[in-house]
Structure 1
Amino acid sequence: MKAKTKKVLLAASLLSLFSPVVMKNQASALDIQAPTFIDDVKVKLLFRPRYEYVDDHSPNKNANALTIRTSIGVQINKIFQVNGLKAYIEATDVGALVDDYSPQKSGYATVNDPDIARITEAYLSYTLNKTTFIAGRTRVNLDDERFIGSVDWRQMPQTFGIIGIKDNTIKNLDILIAGIYERKGVTDTLNAHWRLDKMPIVLHGSYTFMPQLKITAYGYLITNISNTYGINARGDIGLTKDIKFSYLGEYAVQKDPYTKYNVATKPKVDADFYRVEAKLSGYGFFGIAGYERFQGADKGESKGFTTPLATLHKWEGWADNFLGYIANTDTFGLKDAYFTLGYTYKDYGTATITYHKFDADKSTGYVGNTLKTISSKNFGSEVDVLYTVDLTKRLNFLAKAAFYDGKNITGSPSLKDLTKYWIQLTYRY
């Protein structure tokens, strides 16, 4: 193991013993000795080696990346003998064992897993009855991560510094109100910090009427980018004892951000988004059909509908060909019709195949008052395949691939063919 990795893990271990520092939804493990002012301490470990191959059909050399994520976390479930006062700290190191890829080396295709180490989570939380106050750096995954997520697919996850409150005092009603004072992206180039009076604001509430209907409403007020307001409905309907139908419908609008911070002018945004999805599952088989539509930019607008804080790898194909486009510009909009077939079995894992058909929302778009055009509204297609299985209780194997056919479309985005493969092991303790 590299010296840098050893230093990060040692620092995390020392901090865990003397810092009152938090998180959730992690596989847990080992009780350790702790100072008297803290109690119920558990250590969590994760090792995730992964091989990634990228052929971007350009003058760049094909990328070959063998990377490993090493994480150690310490969960403290009681501080100063105060019930409900908890803390979590986690350090993560990403190391490249084979680094024939950009940004590690110039002239190669890109893999967004550079050598990097940081404290990924460090937060305090206090729960009183059914209300939780939280402050510090943590993962934030809202709904299915369409708008805000931790991007855990990449070796360095995305985390946020937040000050927030969660409440479910009213049965079936979950509310989150939070301010974001920092973003730690999957690479350091995505990091951002905000003054407390200029923070992005998260407003999120959901009410479960019945298993067949859950309504969620939200407002994501992102400094310097946009204000997003939306609503979705989802639910599960049992057709027979063994067959289930699930659905999702969502609509959102984006407007100018509520404030600007360190920019000369406030961006102009006026766009909408909708998606529908249906899933039929039974006897281990499942099928999904969905459609998303992002509106592009009209005259005088800075961008179309964007989702800069989402777990974007989950959407618009695993090749990530539209990742930067949907995060930042979406000049011409985007339509994505997708279909998935899969099978899962407890002892043999899950296998899926997904097809995407991409199109522009329109052939002309604007950046401010500058007219942009593309040669075709056909944005290509993609096939994604996946196989994953739990080899043991703690060890998971994953193999997947993405094949994007871009039709060599010119303009922005530039849509050349793209091929990616991954092989990954994940061990949790």
Structure 2
Amino acid sequence: MKKCPTRGAEGSRSMARIVCWGTLLALLIAMETASAAGPISSESIQDALKGDWGQVTFDLRYRFEHVEQDGIQSTSGDPIRLRLGYLTPVWYSLQAFAEFEGNTPVFEDDYNDTTNGKTEYAVIADPSEGELNQGWLALTAIPDTVIKGGRQRINLDNQRFIGAVGWRQMEQTFDAVNLLSTSLENFSANASFVWNVRTIASKDVNMLSPLLNLAYVFEDIGTLTGYGYLLDYDDPDDSGPFEYAFSTQTYGLRFNGSRAVREESLALLYTAEYAYQSDYQDNPEDYSADYFHFIGGLSAPNSDSFLTNISGKIGYELLGSDSGVSLKTPLGTNHGFNGWADQFLTVPPEGLQDFYGMLGATIAGIKVDLIYHDFESDAGSSDYGSEFDAMLTKKFGKNYTLLAKYANYDADEFKADVEKFWIQFTVAY
């Protein structure tokens, strides 16, 4: 068995020890408790982690990432991430949850994690840190309503504007009060007030930001969502490329759904979204930018054949620009949009148009996803470049997942060529 790290910089060494010993302890407790109840299996481990006393949650993710980027030193990293949490039973309509999250490299640490100062290397944005990832108290006394206060995960719609950035090892969580009500049939209201965001760099960013998301389900057609997100950043040094650049107000409508074309054999997929964004509070810019996202496609439902879950989609996403100021999504899960090479996490000043096509299928139990993007500016006529992405995902039962992922950005008039490759293994209970 590999020994826990004992060498390296003091901060990194301490985090490596915490993650390593925490991982070993959690595994030993789960295996010992499960073995006492019978032969060790995923089900026995899962049963051992919950009971009348509450539930222990455990999520271990190891990832190897390699990045080649023109003009900068190529690099590799292999961070391992541990999340260990405890969920209490419900007591007088109250329930609490606390979760530790820690991340550290195992063998490869010569990469720019955005906090370690190794700027000669390409970026792998997974810093060696430990933190309270979640810590909240929930009240369920009102029927079909949950009021939750504290540090928590907030994912709204497809996470374009508000999300946890789950792809990175240290996720983004929110210090907030959140109310989720489903008391009216087919209607849900999700309202939050955020005063701090814990970022993927394990950094606190203060703000005073109300978020409102209202959704109505039209049965057999889709879901219509209206939203308003008012982001008011407090600290000028943590508010964007210039002071208070991320202080924005965004209002939008989204319709997402599917409709059977041939019963049990073919379905039509469709998404249409529009949003309007402008400056808010202390933002010194006076601008307004539009957002459009359209998707159309077809999917074939599951079958017992070798090839299942076949789908094809084409999409167009516009992140607009006004007088050199582009639309911004500082709290979104941006890795899931505009290419996995992450070249458009921040939208260029001239805006962005993304024309893309997606193919997906499950082949012999392996999920296959292929995506091609063509990028252009909104203002002007710049051809930014193109990107090809591919991913293979294999689940082993409910608790184990193996993933291989590839991204190749071919630059034209924006940034430089980038190629990325990942192998990832996750154990989650």
- How would you bin the TM-score normalised by the shorter chain? 0.7 to 0.9
Aligned to 2:68: 55
Q: In structure 1, how many angstroms separate the alpha carbons of the residues matched to 2:149 and 2:16? A: 27
Q: In structure 1, how many angstroms separate the alpha carbons of the residues matched to 2:318 and 2:255? A: 17
Flag structure 1 segments of 5+ consecutive residues without an equivalent: 15-26, 364-375
Aligned to 1:398: 403
Q: In structure 2, how many angstroms separate the alpha carbons of the residues matched to 1:88 and 1:267? A: 40
Asked if 1:310 corresponds to 2:323, the answer is no
8 Å Cα contact 2:50/2:56 also seen in 1? no
Aligned to 1:75: 87
- Judging changes above 3 Å, is the alpha-carbon distance between structure 1 residues 32 and 331 closer, same or farther for their aligned structure 2 residues? closer
Residue of structure 1 aligned with 2:158, choices 144, 149, 158? 144
Flag structure 2 segments of 5+ consecutive residues without an equivalent: 6-13, 27-42, 234-246, 301-307
Aligned to 1:369: none
Q: 1:392: how far off?
A: 3.4
Residue of structure 2 aligned with 1:335, choices 332, 337, 353? 353
Aligned to 1:388: 393
Work out the number of aligned pairs and report it.
373
TM-score between both structures, scaled by the size of structure 1: 0.82
Q: In structure 2, how many angstroms separate the alpha carbons of the residues matched to 1:145 and 1:285? A: 24
Aligned to 1:116: 129
Q: In structure 1, how many angstroms separate the alpha carbons of the residues matched to 2:220 and 2:139? A: 30
- Judging changes above 3 Å, is the alpha-carbon distance between structure 1 residues 76 and 334 closer, same or farther for their aligned structure 2 residues? same
- Judging changes above 3 Å, is the alpha-carbon distance between structure 1 residues 332 and 392 closer, same or farther for their aligned structure 2 residues? same
8 Å Cα contact 1:29/1:44 also seen in 2? no
Residue of structure 1 aligned with 2:274, choices 246, 251, 257? 251
Aligned to 1:29: 46
Q: 1:268: how far off?
A: 2.3
For residues 78-101 of structure 1, the C-alpha deviation after alignment (integer angstroms, 9 at most, x for no partner) is: 23xx1x311111101100121121
Q: 1:6: how far off?
A: 5.0
Q: 1:171: how far off?
A: 0.6
Q: 1:284: how far off?
A: 2.4
Q: In structure 2, how many angstroms separate the alpha carbons of the residues matched to 1:43 and 1:229? A: 38
Sequence identity percentage: 30
Asked if 1:90 corresponds to 2:99, the answer is yes
- Judging changes above 3 Å, is the alpha-carbon distance between structure 1 residues 226 and 249 closer, same or farther for their aligned structure 2 residues? same
Which letter does structure 1 place at the counterpart of 2:383? N
Which letter does structure 2 place at the counterpart of 1:112? A
Q: In structure 1, how many angstroms separate the alpha carbons of the residues matched to 2:309 and 2:253? A: 31
Which letter does structure 2 place at the counterpart of 1:308? P
8 Å Cα contact 1:319/1:420 also seen in 2? yes
8 Å Cα contact 1:226/1:269 also seen in 2? no
8 Å Cα contact 1:280/1:286 also seen in 2? yes
Q: 1:106: how far off?
A: 3.7
Which letter does structure 1 place at the counterpart of 2:421? Y
Q: 1:31: how far off?
A: 5.2
8 Å Cα contact 1:151/1:312 also seen in 2? yes
Which letter does structure 2 place at the counterpart of 1:298? S
Moved over 6 A (4+): 8-11
8 Å Cα contact 1:30/1:42 also seen in 2? no
Q: Residues 4-43 of structure 1: matches in 2 within 5 Å?
A: 4-7=15-18, 29=46, 40-43=53-56
- Judging changes above 3 Å, is the alpha-carbon distance between structure 1 residues 344 and 297 closer, same or farther for their aligned structure 2 residues? same
Aligned to 1:170: 184
Q: 1:267: how far off?
A: 3.7
* Aligned-residue CA RMSD (Å): 2.3
